[in-house]
Amino acid sequence: MAVVSTSLGGAAATQLSTHFSGLRKSFLRLESSNYTSSESLLLNVDSHLRLASLYKACRGVVMMAGSGKFFVGGNWKCNGTKESISKLVSDINSAKLESDVDVIVAPPFVYIDQVKNSLSDRVEIAAQNCWTGKGGAFTGEISAEQIYDLGCSWVVLGHSERRHIIGEDNEFIGKKAAYALSQTLGVIACIGELLEEREAGKTFDVCYQQLKAFADAVPGWDKIVIAYEPVWAIGTGKVATPDQAQEVHVAVRDWLSKNVSAEVASKTRIIYGGSVNGSNCGELAKQEDIDGFLVGGASLKGPEFATIVNSVTSKKVTA
């Protein structure tokens, strides 16, 4: 198993030049032009041995690939009309989708019934939000019972737009997740850091706090998919590099292993979201711990969404 270091110190660190990625400190060996190729090789080996000896003292994460089926969700957000959604559904229905992918779309609530009645059974439907409990005098809210009654099987919770625009906090989102699960819905549990949190080196801490709120509230993880969506990459055109995304996915899986169970860490699918499109999905899908995608704008284009679904073929090639 490989280990990714998130902090280093001691004598070995003094021999390394430091670069800050916004997530953690990484270190590159400085080579002198005075060294022969053999001496450089020995120095590199020595460097790796020194770093290996520090792993017990550093904050590390263990790489473990998930065992779940590839999962791609399309979050349509507050977009569409009856006419445009009819066209989008038609495009999705006519697309050839790889069979070994769970495919979900999340239309605006008012169009769920339209989509349910016209979309192929190949694709499941999610709601974009739900209330913390049973319905009642909660103006503007949507209950899990109503979502289930419409034929939805999933709900998206904890999305950054709900957190940072609407003002939902971790505990509130955890309550929503627990109640949705109690009503047999699956939960797409979103986590992710703001740009200033990444620049401050707090990416892991923020994600762990968000994960803990889910873990403290939910009765189990069998019907939860975690979506890591760095807020700075959502709708901005900026996308985390495959290495950046993989590093956080590894950390999330490691957190699950240490704080829930190794079995949950292995089985839980961790998908990536943040300006995913038909051009970058293939390289992202090759990463060992990226188990799929939660797609925003590109999911409003049927052919491009199909391309993202079919990026599972990149995963197969890598495997």
In the chain, which residues have pLDDT < 70?
A: 1-67, 318-319
Instruction: Tell me what pLDDT residue 318 has.
Output: 65
Tell me the catalytic residues: 159, 229
Alpha helices in the chain (DSSP H): 11-14, 37-54, 82-94, 112-118, 144-149, 160-161, 170-182, 195-199, 203-217, 242-259, 262-267, 281-285, 302-309, 312-318
Q: In the predicted model, what is the mean pLDDT of the chain? A: 84
Instruction: Tell me what pLDDT residue 65 has.
Output: 56
33 CA to centre of own chain: 43
Domain at 70-318: CATH code: 3.20.20.70
Instruction: Tell me what pLDDT residue 319 has.
Output: 62
Instruction: Tell me what pLDDT residue 38 has.
Output: 41
Instruction: Tell me what pLDDT residue 315 has.
Output: 87
For 120-153, what is each residue's pLDDT tens digit?
A: 999 999 999 999 999 999 999 999 999 999 999 9
**What are the extents of the domains in the chain?**
3-62, 70-318
Instruction: Tell me what pLDDT residue 317 has.
Output: 75
pTM for the predicted model, two decimal places: 0.81
